[in-house]
Amino acid sequence: MASTAPELPPLTSGESVDWWHESEAVPYRDALTAMDERNRLVAAGKERELAWLLEHPPVYTAGTSADVSELVDPRFEVIEAGRGGRYTYHGPGQRVGYLVLDLDKRGKDVRCFVHAIEGWVIDTLADFDVEAWRAEGRVGIWTRDIDGREAKIGAIGVRVRRWVTMHGFSVNLDPDLSHFGGIVPCGIEEFGVTSLARLGKNVSTEQWDEKLFARAEQFFGTLETARQKACKT
């Protein structure tokens, strides 16, 4: 299903991680099946960890906190994802990153894990001259839209099973933003959704993947620092 990227240099902190990069859209159900199997194998010590970058055909996914009242117009298939969070949209032009990492080795702190993912995405966006941030009480990655209001440019949703992670993050490069209108994204009605393209940034999936990978060492380093601190307490 996935193609590896042997041109990427090794990471000191991510030496046990396989990197998969997809150029074709992967059906969401297929990705769930692949993640589930990889999670089982990593937990059993039979396979390496995985970072998987891809996109999906249009789909709405429901997290464990999804409220059916927030499914406004189910114009696409709706799939229960098993991750935390509420409804979200995936589709062409949105880059998704799935992480199957062993927190038993990288620190058993889910909050730190989510915080590290957020920082990784925020720093990568900065490499494209887009300022983004976390927002207290609101899940996701936020930026200033062209109308001056805050808007979501990235989503975070994870699941941890056997202390091995699943799911991860998504970033809007150039999706059809009207497709988000079928749901209340992540249960937040008062803020909109934006993309790099809407902000005037023409970023290909290859460019995004390259910059994200360049920041991966920092991401794994954040997890290692948190793990070491936890060991000292």
| Domain-embedded: residue 11 | no
State which residues form the domain around 142. 17-232
- For residue 187, pLDDT beyond 50: no
* CA–CA distance, 72 with 182 (Å, rounded to integer): 5
| Domain-embedded: residue 4 | no
| Domain-embedded: residue 106 | yes
Q: What is the largest CA-CA distance in the chain?
A: 51
> Quick one: pLDDT band at residue 185, thresholds 50, 70, 90?
low
**Residue whose entry in the numeric block shows the structure tokens 């991510």:** 14
Kindly report the CATH number assigned to the domain that includes residue 200.
Answer: 3.30.930.10
| Domain-embedded: residue 5 | no
**Cβ–Cβ contacts within 10 Å for residue 233, how many?**
4
pTM for the complete prediction? 0.90
Instruction: Indicate the number of domains in the chain.
Output: 1
* CA–CA distance, 22 with 5 (Å, rounded to integer): 10
Given CA atoms 131, 175, 185, 37 in this order, what sign does their dihedral have? negative
- For residue 232, pLDDT beyond 60: no
| Domain-embedded: residue 221 | yes
- For residue 211, give both structure tokens: 């910059």
What is the structure's pLDDT at 162?
A: 93
The pLDDT tens digits of the residues spanning 72-99 come to: 888 899 988 888 777 889 999 999 999 9
| Domain-embedded: residue 9 | no
Which position has the higher pLDDT, 136 or 116? 116
Q: Stretch 1-23: mean pLDDT, rounded? A: 71
| Domain-embedded: residue 187 | yes
**Cβ–Cβ contacts within 10 Å for residue 23, how many?**
9
Q: What does R_g of the chain's alpha carbons equal in angstroms?
A: 17
| Domain-embedded: residue 3 | no
So which residues are the catalytic ones?
186
